[in-house]
């Protein structure tokens, strides 16, 4: 029995949010019995050299539209309101200040992104600020992380073995199939007049079309910077 709420955080540029993101969040929720998943678009992603194609306003709007389709998802503008860049460690510390313990937070990420964890700001201390829920992605299995990140081997835990009485954070590995979708590919499709139907939440697709995002005429609809 859970002794306290378990809150998942799904962060990232979300440029745009797509069904791959949704399935990663869903897999973490099921595997770890999360009460809620909070989707959190980044203001300025520290690992990107270029700015997001869509403004923060549009990315938040798309995340909110997608979250509205799933009763277990909500959206937060925490990183959009915070000073740039959007460092995970600083985000998690703000959530601690708001009253959540590290053992209550599950930071959700794909195995492809987690494979670069050694380059993250304040590594390895960031791993003490929350549990990490790492979900396999096409081409990067969570089983491969042991050889990629041998220093973290003792912290890897099979999803489902959550000890609510422990204050020690862990890295939960979730092996499951998730759709082979990337925001980069979606932007390329849209830039060449392609469709993203079936790859994003329907309301997100409508928002992209209505505001002419990511296409060659994007500037006409890019009203917020």
Tell me the three-class secondary structure of the chain, residue by residue: CCCCCCEEEEEECCCCCCHHHHHHHHHHHHHHCCCEEEEEECCCCCCCCCCCCCCHHHHHHHHHHHHCCCCCEEECCHHHHCCCCCCHHHHHHHHHHCCCCHHHEEEEEEHHHHCCHHHCCCCCHHHHCCEEEEECECCECHHHHHHHCHHHHHHEEECCCCCCCCCCCCEEEECCCCCCCCHHHHHHHHHCCCCCCCCCCHHHHHHHHHCCCCCCCHHHHCCCC
Instruction: Give the pLDDT confidence score for residue 225 in this predicted structure.
Output: 36
Say if 217 falls within a structural domain.
no
- Domain hosting residue 153, numbered range: 7-179
Query: Would you state the pLDDT for residue 215?
Result: 87
Residue 199 lies in a domain: no
Residue 37 within a domain: yes
Task: Report the domain count for the chain.
Answer: 1
pLDDT value for 85: 86
ω into 16 cis (within 30 of 0): yes
Residue 205 lies in a domain: no
Would 41 be classed as within a structural domain? yes
pLDDT in tens, the chain (225 residues): 566 899 999 999 999 999 999 999 999 999 999 999 999 999 877 766 678 999 999 999 999 999 999 999 999 999 999 987 889 999 999 999 999 999 999 999 999 999 999 999 999 999 999 999 999 999 999 999 999 999 999 999 987 667 665 678 999 999 999 999 999 999 999 999 999 999 999 999 999 999 999 986 554 444 433
CA distances in angstroms from 207 to 57, 115, 179, listed in the order given: 12, 32, 22
190 occurs within a structural domain? no
Residue 200 within a domain: no
Task: Give residue 14's pLDDT.
Answer: 97
Residue 41 pLDDT: 96
CATH of the domain at 115: 3.40.50.620
């Amino acid at each position: 029995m859970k002794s306290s709420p378990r809150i998942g955080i799904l962060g990232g540029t979300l440029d745009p949010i797509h069904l791959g993101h949704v399935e990663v969040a869903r897999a973490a929720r099921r595997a770890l019995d999360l009460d809620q998943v909070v989707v959190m678009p980044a203001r300025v992603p520290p690992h990107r050299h270029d700015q997001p194609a869509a403004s923060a306003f549009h990315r938040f709007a798309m995340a909110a539209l997608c979250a509205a389709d799933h009763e277990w998802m909500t959206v937060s503008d925490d990183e959009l309101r915070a000073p740039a860049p959007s460092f995970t460690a600083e985000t998690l510390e703000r959530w601690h200040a708001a009253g959540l313990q590290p053992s209550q937070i599950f930071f959700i990420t794909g195995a492809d992104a987690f494979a670069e964890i050694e380059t993250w700001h304040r590594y390895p201390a960031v791993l003490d600020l929350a549990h990490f829920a790492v979900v396999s992605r096409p081409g990067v299995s969570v089983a491969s992380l042991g050889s990629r990140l041998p220093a973290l081997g003792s912290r890897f835990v099979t999803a489902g073995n959550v000890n609510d009485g422990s204050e020690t954070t862990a890295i939960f590995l979730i092996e499951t199939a998730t759709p082979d979708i990337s925001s980069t590919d979606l932007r390329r499709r849209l830039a060449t007049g392609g469709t993203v139907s079936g790859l994003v939440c329907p309301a997100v697709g409508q928002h992209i079309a209505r505001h002419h995002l990511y296409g060659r005429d994007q500037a006409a609809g890019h009203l917020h910077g």
